[in-house]
């Protein structure tokens, strides 16, 4: 599909801004799971957003496993988020929706075309008998993704999934893999599941000049300030915000079903607050579009 010059300029501007964010300092990149949550997070002043494969899967009654959400559905979701807000978007592109490097490359090209400023590729296979791709193949997959991105300006995040897949030596294996992924062309390194000071210090040291992303889904064990002090460049929330929403929903629904009480609805956000936010947001979007 041929993109208009205005669209190309918009994509280029977001990608340049995203790259600048990774050059120095520290920022949080929260993960909306639909257009509404993306627009609300934008209103809070976040500089960039990231999709969440699990948050999107849960909202469609699917597990976050084994590509339960088809590739094309994922691409359309990523495109909808990238179109909803004028911010850099990083795509949680799972393991590239393919095993072979050539197929990963083709899928990455499709993801780049959605307008994202970055995307992540993980090294988990989805197969419990061999949870991680062999390092040589995993590295080739990252190299293929890098080549597919080409000169588009999209940042490539390489994910080492040893912590999340139950590897017996998750830190050692993550460091080994992240070193290889850096050589293969990754722009950002990420080992989700690393939580302790010692683990994160080791990852930042191994990354060297490359920025490191850390997944944070609670206020412990390290604060945002402590992570910044350790040299972490980017913090994402993964499925945490989606699960926070599910937590409130589940508690209220169970109260009605099991205890015949509506108490779970006593302190919810007022209807007018949410509705008026989207009224204002819609008006601002119309003005912005008219000015283009």
> Average pLDDT of 95-108?
98
Residue 81 is encoded by which pair of tokens? 């988020």
Q: For the chain, give the percent of residues with pLDDT over 70.
A: 99
Cis peptide before 209 (omega within 30 of 0): no
- Binned at pLDDT 50, 70 and 90, residue 290 comes out as confident
Q: For the chain, give the percent of residues with pLDDT over 90.
A: 92
| Cα–Cα nearest to 111, from 23, 66, 29, 51 | 51
Q: How much is the pLDDT for 285?
A: 84
- Binned at pLDDT 50, 70 and 90, residue 2 comes out as low
Q: How much is the pLDDT for 66?
A: 75
Q: Is 157 helix (H, G, I), strand (E, B) or coil?
A: strand
Tens-place pLDDT, residues 224-269: 999 999 999 999 999 999 999 999 999 999 999 999 999 999 999 9
Q: How much is the pLDDT for 72?
A: 98
Q: How much is the pLDDT for 292?
A: 67
Buried b (16+ CB within 10 A) or exposed e, 35-50: eebbbebbeeebebbb
Tens-place pLDDT, residues 19-61: 999 999 999 999 999 999 999 999 999 999 999 999 999 999 9
Residue 58 is encoded by which pair of tokens? 């849960």
Contacts of 286 (CB under 8 A, 6+ apart): none
Q: Which CATH class is domain 5-238?
A: alpha beta
- Binned at pLDDT 50, 70 and 90, residue 152 comes out as very high
In Å, what is the CA distance from 128 to each residue of 57, 88, 105, 124, 164?
Answer: 20, 34, 24, 10, 12
What are phi and psi for residue 29, nearest 5 degrees?
-120, 95
Rounded Cα distance, 192 and 237, in Å: 10
In the predicted structure, residue 289 carries a pLDDT above the cut 80: no
Per-domain residue ranges for the chain? Answer: 5-238
Contact between 212 and 234 (Cβ < 8 Å): yes
Per the prediction, the chain carries an average pLDDT of 96
Q: How much is the pLDDT for 82?
A: 97
How many C-beta neighbours within 10 Å does residue 174 have? 27
Tens-place pLDDT, residues 158-184: 999 999 999 999 999 999 999 999 999
Q: How much is the pLDDT for 277?
A: 97
- Binned at pLDDT 50, 70 and 90, residue 18 comes out as very high
- Binned at pLDDT 50, 70 and 90, residue 123 comes out as very high
Contact between 137 and 103 (Cβ < 8 Å): no
37: which strand partners? none
What are phi and psi for residue 200, nearest 5 degrees?
-70, -40
Q: How much is the pLDDT for 4?
A: 81
In the predicted structure, residue 1 carries a pLDDT above the cut 70: no
Q: How much is the pLDDT for 252?
A: 98
Tens-place pLDDT, residues 257-277: 999 999 999 999 999 999 999
In the predicted structure, residue 222 carries a pLDDT above the cut 80: yes
């Amino acid at each position: 599909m041929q993109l208009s010059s205005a669209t190309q300029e918009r994509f280029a501007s977001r990608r340049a801004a995203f790259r600048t964010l990774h050059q120095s300092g520290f920022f949080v990149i929260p993960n909306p799971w639909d257009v509404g949550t993306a627009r609300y997070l934008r209103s809070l002043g976040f500089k960039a957003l990231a999709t969440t494969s699990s948050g999107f899967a849960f909202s469609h009654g699917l597990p976050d496993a084994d590509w339960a959400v088809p590739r094309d559905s994922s691409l359309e979701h990523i495109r909808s988020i990238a179109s909803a807000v004028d911010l850099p978007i990083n795509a949680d592109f799972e393991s590239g929706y393919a095993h072979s490097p050539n197929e990963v490359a083709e899928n990455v090209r499709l993801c780049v075309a959605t307008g994202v400023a970055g995307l992540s590729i993980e090294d988990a296979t989805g197969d419990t008998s061999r949870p991680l791709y062999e390092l040589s193949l995993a590295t080739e997959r990252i190299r293929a993704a890098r080549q597919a991105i080409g000169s588009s300006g999209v940042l490539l995040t390489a994910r080492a999934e040893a912590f999340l897949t139950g590897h017996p030596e998750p830190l050692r294996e993550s460091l080994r893999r992240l070193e290889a992924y850096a050589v293969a062309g990754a722009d950002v390194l990420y080992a989700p599941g690393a939580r302790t000071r010692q683990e994160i210090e080791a990852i930042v040291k191994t990354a060297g000049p490359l920025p490191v992303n850390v997944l944070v889904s609670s206020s412990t064990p390290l604060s945002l300030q402590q992570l910044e002090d350790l040299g972490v460049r980017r913090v994402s929330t993964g499925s945490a915000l989606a699960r926070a929403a599910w937590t409130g929903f589940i508690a209220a629904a169970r109260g009605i079903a099991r205890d015949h009480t509506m108490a779970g609805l006593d302190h919810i956000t007022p209807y007018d607050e949410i509705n008026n936010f989207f009224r204002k947001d819609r008006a601002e979007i119309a003005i912005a579009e008219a000015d283009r």
